[in-house]
Amino acid sequence: MSAVAQIVASCASESGLSDALDPFAPTGSLLERFARNPFLMAPMAGVSDGAYRIMARLGGAALAYSEMVSVTGIHYGSVKTWELVLPNEFEPDIAVQLFGSDPNHFAEATERVTSELGNKLVLIDINMACPVPKVTKGGGGSALLDEPLLAERIVRSCAGATQVPVTVKIRRGRRMGEEVATEFSKRMADAGAQAIAVHGRYASQMYRGIADWEVVRRVADAVDVPVIGSGDVRGAPEAVEMLRSCGCAAVMIARGTYGNPWVFGQSRDLLRAATAITTIPTTSQRIQAFCEHVRVLDATGAHMARGRSLAGWYLRGLPHAALWRGEATSCTTLGDYMDLVRRLEAEVKPHGGR
């Protein structure tokens, strides 16, 4: 049994996460996977490492994505780039998101990722949505929304280099008032994209303002491939509402997963039962899930500084949460975090937890 498997087995009953129904069951096509469970963990730069993906899958996510992976980094054999690609042995499968602007690099990266990951690779996703300048300056991310011909070449180059589905993630448009999502999606589907993920903001909005879900509906009505909705899905009610109101096949949950891996199971339960959410984690379960996540973080070899963000997310709303977040900023080792957990259990649970 791997180190991660041992951690999961020892924490399962306390965190309430591995009770999710069949979270690792394999399925066939994307449509079959989405029909069975349409709630996906979105790719998030600096967040969706192996530990984060594992926790999401334990919480019931149908699929979890890698962080953005540079095709140029793969071309030049960057070890750090490959660390973003390779799943932990405990992960059942993974979706890998690539970014860049060179069709040849995309083809090379797709072929190498496919070969390296084998049957653990569910799909290759092409990022055409990221608004961050360091990505768009190189012609990648949302800059491709201005270059549909180049975007088509990239999709074709990837589709010709792998047998797994190639998908794209886009935004409403690059600049406010210049919506291109529907026509752009049609072109990507014609080029070979087997699913389109649509975020309802313009790239120029970054993450400000409100995501327009109607653009998701417009794209879903216009293309014959599955559409994945994205944007402002904070919890299970929004996830189910987007799925039902936008005509999409699946929903990506990003910031709504912060400190809340239960959101996937909650969304699935709400979709099936159409009743109020009953699987709300207790204070004890939140503390134990934080403990489990940090232990998995350590077991997967990630930098332990990431645990500081996790503390802020998992402990939000607890008594004296700001104090505990401050305590976490000085944690550098697994032992530091475990000491924090012990003090949380001794001081928080007796006064505010079940």
Q: Is a pLDDT exceeding 60 seen at residue 22?
A: no
Convert the pLDDT of each residue in 245-257 to its tens digit: 999 999 999 999 9
Question: Considering the entire predicted model, what is its pTM?
Answer: 0.94
Per DSSP, the residues of 82-110 read HHHHPPPTT-S-EEEEEE-S-HHHHHHHH
pLDDT of the residue at 21: 46
- For residues 122-132, average pLDDT: 97
Instruction: Give dist(CA 226, CA 223) in Å, integer.
Output: 8
Average pLDDT, the chain: 93
* Band of pLDDT at residue 15, cut at 50, 70 and 90: confident
* Band of pLDDT at residue 352, cut at 50, 70 and 90: very low
Q: Is a pLDDT exceeding 90 seen at residue 105?
A: yes
Going from the C-alpha of 75 to that of each of 113, 253, 266, 279, 352, the distances in angstroms are: 11, 30, 40, 45, 52
The residue extents of the domains of the chain are 20-273, 283-352
pLDDT of the residue at 8: 87
Instruction: Give dist(CA 341, CA 113) in Å, integer.
Output: 38
CATH class of 20-273: alpha beta
Q: Is a pLDDT exceeding 50 seen at residue 90?
A: yes
Convert the pLDDT of each residue in 135-173 to its tens digit: 999 999 999 999 999 999 999 999 999 999 999 999 999
Q: Which residues are catalytic?
A: 130
User: Residue 126's beta-bridge partner residues?
Assistant: 98, 168
* Band of pLDDT at residue 19, cut at 50, 70 and 90: low
Q: Is a pLDDT exceeding 90 seen at residue 116?
A: yes
pLDDT of the residue at 67: 97
- For residues 236-244, average pLDDT: 96
Q: Is a pLDDT exceeding 80 seen at residue 18?
A: no
User: Residue 198's beta-bridge partner residues?
Assistant: 170, 229
- Amino acid identity at 229: G
pLDDT of the residue at 16: 83
